[in-house]
Amino acid sequence: MIAFAWRHPELGDVIVTFSPVAHELARLHGLGLPVEPWWREVLAHELGHLNGHWHGAGRDAHNTDADNLVAALLAMQAGAVHLVALDSNGRFVDLADPAMAGVTAAVLDNIQELDRRAALTAASGEQVRIASPQGRWVTDGLDFVLGEDFDAALARTLAVRGLPAITVIYALDRAHRRIVADRGLFEHRFSQLREFERIVMEQHEQLHWRHPEWSERQAWRLAGHPSGPGRTPPRACSCGRYPGSATSGPSSRSATEAARRWWCCGTPTIGCSWSSTGSAIRRS
């Protein structure tokens, strides 16, 4: 339970919440998540019990509104960690996809378990430079840490919970101002990525750190394409498909053009236009 309305015999109409809920909302607010507008909606919902609104609107309308409020809270809690991750086809995942529900909680649980086991250690200066070539994470006060067997442990957790299999490249842990990666994945595969690709992912995580309300599309566009959010993406992926359709088209042999044409059907992908990256990162 988040809150309830009460007609107090002395204080009159009041909205009551609980200390753990208040602490959680304060934590989310401290992470820059949109708690205040959500809380105003909670108050409006509870006042509806006192002013007769829900009596007139009916049970179904009440339950729908309550479900929406709970879903919004869960979405904010999921926003406490952001991922650059690949699905089983080598495509970047979008955490707003309903199929990803529960995945961020599983990732956060595994990070917390690594903390309990003291299995998260600071990356070396050289590793930080590889992961963040432009120094954006240091500029924003973000640490870069590596977890022992993070990828394998997460795979087991996802399987047990019946969630989609993903490979996490980076996990942005807002509460601790850090980027988390699997040590083995980083040390043995990430070094194969081109600097352009590493810069795009560095910028992507910085953008989500600064703008937790941004969608994946907004962050990827600004990180990977200089036109910025809302502008037209490159004409075609290097695989020859045009963004937003499955139509084939000519693909450029130019390395520069290939680096710019990293969109595939409107979504960034490693398995397609970043084929070398896909082979470097996906689980063998």
The rounded mean pLDDT for the chain is 78
Please tell me what DSSP assigns to residue 68.
Answer: H
Look at strands 178-182 and 263-264 and give their pairing: unpaired
What's the whole-model pTM score? 0.63
Q: Which residue has the tokens 């059907």?
A: 265
* Assigned token pair, 100: 């990803």
Average pLDDT for residues 56-72, to the nearest whole number?
A: 89
Average pLDDT for residues 19-40, to the nearest whole number?
A: 83
Amino acid identity for residue 232 in this structure? T
End-to-end CA distance of the chain: 44
Contact between 90 and 271 (Cβ < 8 Å): yes
Q: What interhelical angle do 103-116 and 59-78 show, nearest 10?
A: 40
Segments of the chain assigned E as strands: 3-8, 12-17, 81-86, 120-122, 143-147, 167-173, 178-182, 263-264, 267-268
- Give the tens place of pLDDT for each residue, 185-243: 999 988 678 888 899 899 999 998 988 878 788 888 888 643 333 333 333 344 443 33
Q: Say how far apart CA 57 and CA 178 lie, in whole Å.
A: 46
Rg (CA), the chain: 22
- Give the tens place of pLDDT for each residue, 92-124: 888 777 777 778 878 988 998 999 999 999 999
Contact between 13 and 5 (Cβ < 8 Å): yes
